[in-house]
Structure 1
């Protein structure tokens, strides 16, 4: 078998291809590292909404939520941003907000979060 024939059957990634894949993975890693704190904040807000549904009046629900906000230290939603409804005999607390993550130049990643108490 000649060397030119065996070279045609070789497979693999070139150094330039490897650098390209590494650059793409690094960019994705940076974005994921910025998204994870917003997910943790969303979980804290959902937990606070579930705690706030124990209130019986709208001001009481908002006060409970604001106390939970002070404990968990999130800034995206406050008690005045809540939508409080009574469905049957249950209080349902819902919220919606968005977060923007600056990527580069004029590019932003916008994350829209919404949820309600269970």
Structure 2
């Protein structure tokens, strides 16, 4: 009769807690390393848009982008990596690049970024 009156315990076991904690740590670690990559991409988009709006020639566009990249600490892409064209007398700036984030052993998380000004 004793077991019938006992209430069943609810909750997470120690092993379950450890697994949840490891998963949370992994998510925060990857997210913490991914945030600067995402911020750099946003800064590169802003610099490309500024260069497209203010520049008329290829060297001007590249120089404007490089100045903005120096201010915003963009290291992955430079003005030389931009593809610049004119469509209907408007300057269009495009870029494409990859950043990888080492995870564990031979595993990497690869980000591929592509942008074209409007």
Superposition TM-score, scaled by structure 2 size: 0.90
4 and 16 in structure 1: CA distance in 2 versus 1, 3 angstrom threshold = farther
Residues 57-82 of structure 1: CA distance to partner in whole angstroms, max 9, x if unpaired? 11111111111111111111101100
Instruction: Give 2:73's aligned residue.
Output: 73
Q: Could you tell me how far apart the structure 2 residues matched to 1:60 and 1:74 are?
A: 18
1:47-86 matches, cutoff 5 A: 47-53=46-52, 54-86=54-86
Give unpaired runs (5+ residues) of structure 2: none
Residues 19-77 of structure 1: CA distance to partner in whole angstroms, max 9, x if unpaired? 11011110111000000000110011011101100211111111111111111111111
Q: Could you tell me how far apart the structure 2 residues matched to 1:109 and 1:94 are?
A: 23
Q: Could you tell me how far apart the structure 2 residues matched to 1:52 and 1:75 are?
A: 17
Q: Could you tell me how far apart the structure 1 residues matched to 2:24 and 2:4 are?
A: 34
Q: What stretches of structure 1 move > 3 A for 4+ residues in a row?
A: 4-8
Superposition TM-score, scaled by structure 1 size: 0.90
Q: Could you tell me how far apart the structure 2 residues matched to 1:109 and 1:4 are?
A: 52
Instruction: Give 1:112's aligned residue.
Output: 112
How many residues of Structure 1 are paired with residues of Structure 2 in the alignment? 117
